[in-house]
Structure 1
Amino acid sequence: MKSYSSIILMALLFVACSDNISGSDITRDDATKGEATPLENPSVDGWKISGFSQKGPFVTGSNVSILELDSLTFDQTGKIFKSTIRSDEGDFSVSGKGFPSPYAMVQVKGYYRNEITGKRSSGPLTLNAFTDLRNREKVNVNLLTHLEFERVKALVYNGKSFEEAKAQAEREVLAAMAMNEAGESFEDLDIFKSGDGNAKLLAISVLMQSNVNVAGLTERVGKFSMELAENGSWKDSATRTEIADWACEVSQRGLLVDVRNNVLAWKISDTLPDFEKFVDVFWADNYGLGICSDANAGDTAVNVNPLSKQNGEKFICKNERWESADKKSNYKSVFGTMTDARDGQMYRTVEIGDQVWMAENLNYDYQTLQTHSVCYKSESGECDEFGLLYPLAAVIDSAGLFGNEGVGCGNGSWSMCNYSESLRGVCPEGWHLPSESEWFQLLVYTGGTVVVPDVEVVIYKNVQGINVDEYGFNSLGGDAFYATGGFASRESAVYWASSRYENLPSTMEIGTENAGINYTGWGFTSLHYVRCVKD
C-alpha cells in the first residue's frame, strides 16, 4: 500500500499555465450545478472549472491552481494550471487542455473572510478539493472538501473507486461532526444557499474557526484530516471538547447572531441557511445530552463529558434546543452583543438605563514589555469564566497600543498620569473605562442609595441589596490580587475605575449588599478586573 501523507505543492519540472477567465461569467446558482459529461477515454482534452472558494469567501487575488493527478496513484503528474479569485465573493474560473488523467486537485490559497470576526483573516489559508474533470464543470472549494481530501486519497490507495471513496469520506466527515449525511456532494455546497447541506458547511466552518486564529485553524483541520485518513473518524477528544465548550457558550449567550450578522454584512446574500441548529447539535452530542425535539420537550440532561469545563451542568429541552437550566430569563434590561476586533472575542452587552455595559469581564490579553494581564493563579480556565486580571499600567494602556492618553502611566509613578476620565485604556474601540460617576449612575439606576461614611470611601448601599445582576450586569470577580499580597474572595467583584482621588488610583467593589468606590489600599501592582462601558 502506498503512502498517503499530505500532498505538498513542490517545485514542478513541467508547468503549463493558463489564466483563461474570459469565458462566460458564472452565477451563484450555476456554481452548484455539475453537468455530467462522461468520456469513454479517461483523458480530458479540453476542460473548464469554475466555482466558489469559501471558508468565508476567499478575497480577490487569492491563488487558484488546478493540478493533474495520476489516475491510478493520485500523485501529482506535474501539470498545473493557475488563475486567481476574481472578486470578494470567492469566484474563480480556470480552463486548459492536455490532461491525460481525468482527476485533478483544485487548490485555493489566500486570505479569507472570517465568520467569527467579520473581517479578513490575519493570514493566508490553503484549501483543497478532489474532482473528476469528466463529470464536473462547477467545483466549490470549501472546508468540507478539504477535510475529506486525505481520506479520499487513502481510500483510493486501498482499492476504492473515486466515486466510492468520495461518498464514504463525506459520510465520515459529517459523522465526525455529529451530523448525518447531507445528501449532496461537498463540491456543490455553498454557505450562502438554503438547505441542510449548506447549513452544515457553514456550521462546521464556524466550529472549526471558533476561538482560534488562522494558524490554529490550519493546525486543527490538518490534524482532523490526517486522523480521518487513518481510520475514518476523529478521536481528538480534547479539541472536540474545546470547540464544544466554545459553541455552547456562544449559543447559550445568543452570540451566534453576531456570526450571522457578520456574514450577511458582506452583502453577498440576503439570507443564510439555519446553521445555528447544527452548531447546537455538535456541542449537545459532545456533552452526551442526546436529541432535543418536541417529543422530549421539558426533559433535562446533564453534561457528562469529563473534559468539559461545563461538566455536570444541567440542561433542559426547550423549543427543540438545549438550554442551561440555570440560565436567568427575567432580566429587566435589553441584551446585545459585540465583537472585539482585536482578537475576535465576542461579549454579551446589556443596556441599563442610558448606559450600555459589557455584561461580562474583559478577556483581552494585554502583553507588552512593561506590563501584562494574567489569569487568576495562572489557570487558563479562570480566564475563560471570569476574564483576565489587569495591573494599572495595562488598564491605562501605558504602552500606548490603543491611545496616547495613558502613555507611561501606572508603572510606579504618577508623574506621567495626566489622562482624562473615561479614557479608552485597554477597552475595545468604541468603549472605555468607566469613571466614578459612571459607576455611580449604574448603581443608582439599579436601586442603590448614597451614604458617605468618611471622606475616603463612598458607598452606595441598598438595604435590600443592590440589584445590578437583576438587570443583567452579571457581576463576576473576586480573586483580585492586592499589592500587599493575597487574594480577595468571590463574595465581591473588584473593578478598575478611571477616576483618581489625590493621585490615588480608584476601584469599584461590588458586593451582594453594597458597592463603593475605594481610593485606598490599591497599588500599581494590584490586579483587578475590567468592565467597559460604551462611548
Structure 2
Amino acid sequence: MNMKSLMLLPFLLLAACSDDITGASGEKGSTSHEKTPAGSWNISGVSQKGPFVTGSTVNIMELDSLTLEQTGKIFKSTIRSDEGDFIISGQGFSSPYAMIQVKGYYRNEITGKRSSGPLTLNAFTDLSHREKVNVNLLTHLEFERVKLLVSQGKSFKEAKTQAANEVLAAMAMNDASKSFEDLDIFKSGDENAKLLAISALMQGDVDVAGLTERVGKFSMELAEGGSWNDSATRTVIADWACEVSQRRLFDDIRANILSWKISDSLPDFEKFVDYFWTDNYGLGTCSATNDGDTTANVNPLSIRNGEKFVCENGHWESIEKNSGNYKGIFGTMTDARDGQTYKTVQIGDQVWMAENLNYDYHTLQTFSMCYNKDPQKCDEYGRLYSLAAAVDSAGLFGDGGIGCGRGNAEACKVRESLRGVCPEGWHLPSESEWMQLLVSLGGVVEESETDEVYPVKASGFNIDDSGFNNHSGGCYYLTGGFSGEGCDKYWTSSSRNIPSILGLNSQNASAWDTGWALSSFFYVRCVKD
C-alpha cells in the first residue's frame, strides 16, 4: 500500500462509520434507535394552550434512546413572558431524545382569561435535530402514542409521523404536513389553524380540571389503539362546537385571543371546528355541489339528535334555530337514569335546564306522555307530566311528594324545591325560584292576595334572550284532551291547595293553582340544587 492510500484510510473508515449511523430515512440512528449524543444544546420555543404565563416552569429531561424512559438528568427554566416563550440550554446528555414539560397557568382562549388552575403539557424532541421546540396541546396528545410506537420498534421519526396523523384523524382532520413542535396558534396556515381549533374544542365549556381529564383520557386511549372512541365526550364537545358555530360565537373567541396583543391576526381555525362537529353529527360535507341540501343529526347521543341542518354557502345551518338573541354558551348535564343529555344555562345565580325534561316516569298509579302521543314530540318538546309524576308521588327518588296527585288534594302539601321527577342534583323549582329567574332578567313581579286566578305575576323580561329556550308543545287536560301546540305551562313545587302551575311566554308569566290540575299534564323544567 502506498503512502497516499495510507493517508486516505482514516477518512474512508470515518465515512463507513457515518453510513452505519445514518439510516435509510435520513435520520441519525440505526433501527435499534442508537444515536449520537446531543452534546451541548440550546432550545427555545413557545408553550401554548393559550400561552402559558410568566413564571410557569419548563423542564427538559433526558430520555433513554431505546425506551424513551427518563434517565434522571434534568435542566430547569421558566416561561419568560405572558407570550409563553422560553429558552433553555445544557450539556451532558448521552441521548439526543428529551421530554420538554411545561407546567403553569395559561390564557384560556374561550374566556380570554387566565386559567383557574395549572396545566401540564409535554413534548418529545430530538435535540440533535432541533433548536426550536413549541410545546402545545398536540405535542401532548401524541406523547404517549409516540412512546408506545417506539417500544414496538418504530423509529422516533416514524412514531412521531404516525402519532400526529392519528391525533388529527381522531379530530376529523386530514394528515399532518408539519411537526406539532413547529406549530403556533398565532401563525397563518392550516396546520396552525388545526392546533387552535383542537385547543378550543378540547377546552370547550370546561374548566382546567375538566380539560385535564379530557386530554388525559384522549392521550391514553390513542396510545393504546391509535384512535379516540370516547363517543360520549366527543359528542359533548361536538354539541358545544355546534352551539358556538350556530350562534356565531367564533368572533368572540377571536376577540379574546387578539386582546392579548400578541398578534394582530389568527389562522382560519373556524372551519376545522366545523369539520369536527359536522362529522360527529354525520352531516357530511357542505359545498357548492350540495348547496341547499337538508340533512339531520344522526348522533343518538347528541342533545341535538334529529335536528335538521341545511347547507348554505359552504356552512351547515340549523333549520330549528331558537328565536331568541342569546349569545352565551350553553353547558350540558347528563341524566344518569337514562343517559339523556340536556343543555343548561346560567341565568343570574341560578343554573337551569335549557330544555324540558324528557324522563319517562311510569308507575302503576301515574305516568308521563308525549304530546299527541307522538314520540317525536317528546324529542322536540320533552314529556308532559301529571302532577303525581312531576312530584314523584311514588317516592322513586325522594319522599317529598309521596301520595300527591292521586285524587286527594289534601295530600299535596309538598315541600318546596323538592327533587320530584328531576335528575339527581336538580329539583322542581318553586314559585319563588321562577320569580327569581324572571327578576334577574329585568322582570317586575306583582303579587295579589285577592286575585284567585293569578296570585303571582311577572312581566317586562325577555325569556328567550336568556338562553332559557321556552319551546313547548301542547298540554293535556283530562276534560279537553290535547290543547294544541304552544302551551307553555310548567309545574312548580309551591302549593296553596295543590302545587301551582307557571304559565310562561316570552314577555310575561303567571303562577296559579286550580283543582283541575290534578288530572292535567304539563312540562317540567328543572333547576340545579
| Normalised TM-score (structure 1) | 0.63
Residue 346 of structure 2 is aligned to residue 362 of structure 1:
yes
Which amino acid counterpart does residue 293 of structure 1 have in structure 2?
S
Instruction: Report the Cα distance in structure 2 between the residues aligned to 1:528 and 1:305, rounded to whole angstroms.
Output: 24
Q: Higher helix share goes to which structure?
A: 2
1:177–1:70: structure 2 CA closer, same or farther, 3 Å change rule?
same
1:291-440 superposed matches below 5 A: 291-327=285-321, 335=325, 337-338=327-328, 362=346, 433-437=440-444
Contact 1:476/1:493 (<8 A) preserved: no
3-state SS, counterpart of residue 273 of structure 1 = coil
In the other structure, the counterpart of 1:173 is 167
In the other structure, the counterpart of 1:9 is none
Residue 217 of structure 2 is aligned to residue 223 of structure 1:
yes
Contact 2:249/2:327 (<8 A) preserved: yes
Contact 1:60/1:86 (<8 A) preserved: yes
Instruction: Report the Cα distance in structure 1 between the residues aligned to 2:282 and 2:525, rounded to whole angstroms.
Output: 37
3-state SS, counterpart of residue 362 of structure 1 = strand
**1:176: Cα distance to partner?**
0.7
**1:494: Cα distance to partner?**
6.6
1:147 to 141, 151, 165: 141
Structure 2: gaps (5+ residues): 1-25, 333-343, 361-377, 383-389, 391-415, 418-434, 476-484, 493-499, 515-523
Which amino acid counterpart does residue 492 of structure 1 have in structure 2?
D
1:28-427 superposed matches below 5 A: 42-327=36-321, 335=325, 337-338=327-328, 362=346
In the other structure, the counterpart of 2:364 is none
**1:249: Cα distance to partner?**
1.8
Instruction: Report the Cα distance in structure 2 between the residues aligned to 1:309 and 1:219, rounded to whole angstroms.
Output: 22
1:238–1:455: structure 2 CA closer, same or farther, 3 Å change rule?
closer
For residues 65-108 of structure 1, give each alpha carbon's deviation from its aligned partner in whole angstroms, at most 9, with x where no partner exists.
00000111111111000001111111111011111111100000
Contact 1:103/1:133 (<8 A) preserved: yes
Residue 459 of structure 2 is aligned to residue 475 of structure 1:
no
3-state SS, counterpart of residue 51 of structure 1 = strand
Which amino acid counterpart does residue 488 of structure 2 have in structure 1?
S
Instruction: Report the Cα distance in structure 2 between the residues aligned to 1:241 and 1:219, rounded to whole angstroms.
Output: 16
In the other structure, the counterpart of 1:351 is none
Contact 1:193/1:273 (<8 A) preserved: yes
**1:475: Cα distance to partner?**
3.2
3-state SS, counterpart of residue 291 of structure 1 = coil
1:309–1:124: structure 2 CA closer, same or farther, 3 Å change rule?
same
Which amino acid counterpart does residue 440 of structure 2 have in structure 1?
L
**1:306: Cα distance to partner?**
1.9
Instruction: Report the Cα distance in structure 1 between the residues aligned to 2:225 and 2:463, rounded to whole angstroms.
Output: 52
**1:455: Cα distance to partner?**
9.4
In the other structure, the counterpart of 1:419 is none
**How many residue pairs were aligned?**
404
Instruction: Report the Cα distance in structure 2 between the residues aligned to 1:312 and 1:528, rounded to whole angstroms.
Output: 21
**1:165: Cα distance to partner?**
0.7
In the other structure, the counterpart of 2:431 is none
Contact 2:61/2:99 (<8 A) preserved: yes
**1:143: Cα distance to partner?**
0.3
3-state SS, counterpart of residue 327 of structure 2 = strand
**1:326: Cα distance to partner?**
2.2
Instruction: Report the Cα distance in structure 2 between the residues aligned to 1:154 and 1:479, rounded to whole angstroms.
Output: 57
1:90–1:490: structure 2 CA closer, same or farther, 3 Å change rule?
farther
3-state SS, counterpart of residue 184 of structure 1 = coil
**1:125: Cα distance to partner?**
0.9
Contact 2:235/2:302 (<8 A) preserved: yes
Contact 2:35/2:96 (<8 A) preserved: no
Instruction: Report the Cα distance in structure 1 between the residues aligned to 2:356 and 2:86, rounded to whole angstroms.
Output: 45
Which amino acid counterpart does residue 90 of structure 1 have in structure 2?
G
**1:261: Cα distance to partner?**
1.7
Residue 482 of structure 2 is aligned to residue 492 of structure 1:
no
Instruction: Report the Cα distance in structure 2 between the residues aligned to 1:97 and 1:469, rounded to whole angstroms.
Output: 62
**1:250: Cα distance to partner?**
2.0
In the other structure, the counterpart of 1:20 is none
Contact 1:37/1:136 (<8 A) preserved: no
**1:516: Cα distance to partner?**
4.5
Structure 1: gaps (5+ residues): 1-35, 347-359, 390-409, 412-424, 440-452, 481-488, 497-505, 522-526, 531-535
For residues 492-515 of structure 1, give each alpha carbon's deviation from its aligned partner in whole angstroms, at most 9, with x where no partner exists.
26799xxxxxxxxx9984349x94
1:117–1:286: structure 2 CA closer, same or farther, 3 Å change rule?
same
Instruction: Report the Cα distance in structure 1 between the residues aligned to 2:90 and 2:466, rounded to whole angstroms.
Output: 63
3-state SS, counterpart of residue 174 of structure 1 = helix
**1:319: Cα distance to partner?**
1.4
**1:193: Cα distance to partner?**
1.1
In the other structure, the counterpart of 1:403 is none
**1:141: Cα distance to partner?**
0.3
Which amino acid counterpart does residue 129 of structure 2 have in structure 1?
N
Which amino acid counterpart does residue 199 of structure 2 have in structure 1?
S
1:179–1:37: structure 2 CA closer, same or farther, 3 Å change rule?
closer
3-state SS, counterpart of residue 48 of structure 2 = coil
Contact 1:491/1:511 (<8 A) preserved: no
1:435–1:274: structure 2 CA closer, same or farther, 3 Å change rule?
closer
**1:178: Cα distance to partner?**
0.5
**1:477: Cα distance to partner?**
7.1
| Normalised TM-score (structure 2) | 0.64
Percent identical pairs in the alignment equals 61
